[in-house]
Amino acid sequence: MEAVKKQLEGRIDYEGQRLSEQVAYFSLVVSGVIAFFVSFLASSIKFGLIVFAAGYVITLLAVVPPWPVYRKHPIAWLPVRRLKAD
């Protein structure tokens, strides 16, 4: 149960958090711009919104799961120091 929970939690490291945020930010802006031009050229607002929805789903797929690219920089903890027993 704990293992399943941990898997679903999908933790990533600090560098991965920065990267995933940038990916989400730019891919959504780009899909919004593409959606605008598509709907303008196709003369259909519905079609443009479908394009944007597709961009949103792709962004979710790219960002939400803990892909290995977001776990390349694990935190290097200091080694455990043994205290001398008396």
Partner 1 sequence: MFSAWQRLQNTSSWALSVCLTLLAVISVSSWYVLPTVPLGSIGLKSFQVVPGSGSQSNLEYALMRLDVQSDLTPLFANWNTKQLYVSVVADWNSTVEGTQSSVVLWDRIITRKRPEAAKLRIEGLKAKNVWKVRRGGFKTIPSCHLSLKYDIMPYVGIVTPGIGARARNPTWNVTTETATNSFGEWDIAVPGVKSGGVGS
Do residues 12 and 20 touch, judged by C-beta distance below 8 A? yes
Binding positions for partner 1, 4-23, rule CB under 8 A? 8-12, 17-18, 20-21
Site string for partner 1, 31-60 (x = CB under 8 A): xx--xx--xx--xxx--xx--x---x--xx
Rounded CA gap, 34 and 74, in Å?
Answer: 36
Tokens of 55: 């961009």
Compute and round to an integer the Cα radius of gyration of the chain.
21
Residues in contact with partner 1 by the rule CB under 8 A: 8-12, 17-18, 20-21, 24-25, 28-29, 31-32, 35-36, 39-40, 43-45, 48-49, 52, 56, 59-60, 63-66
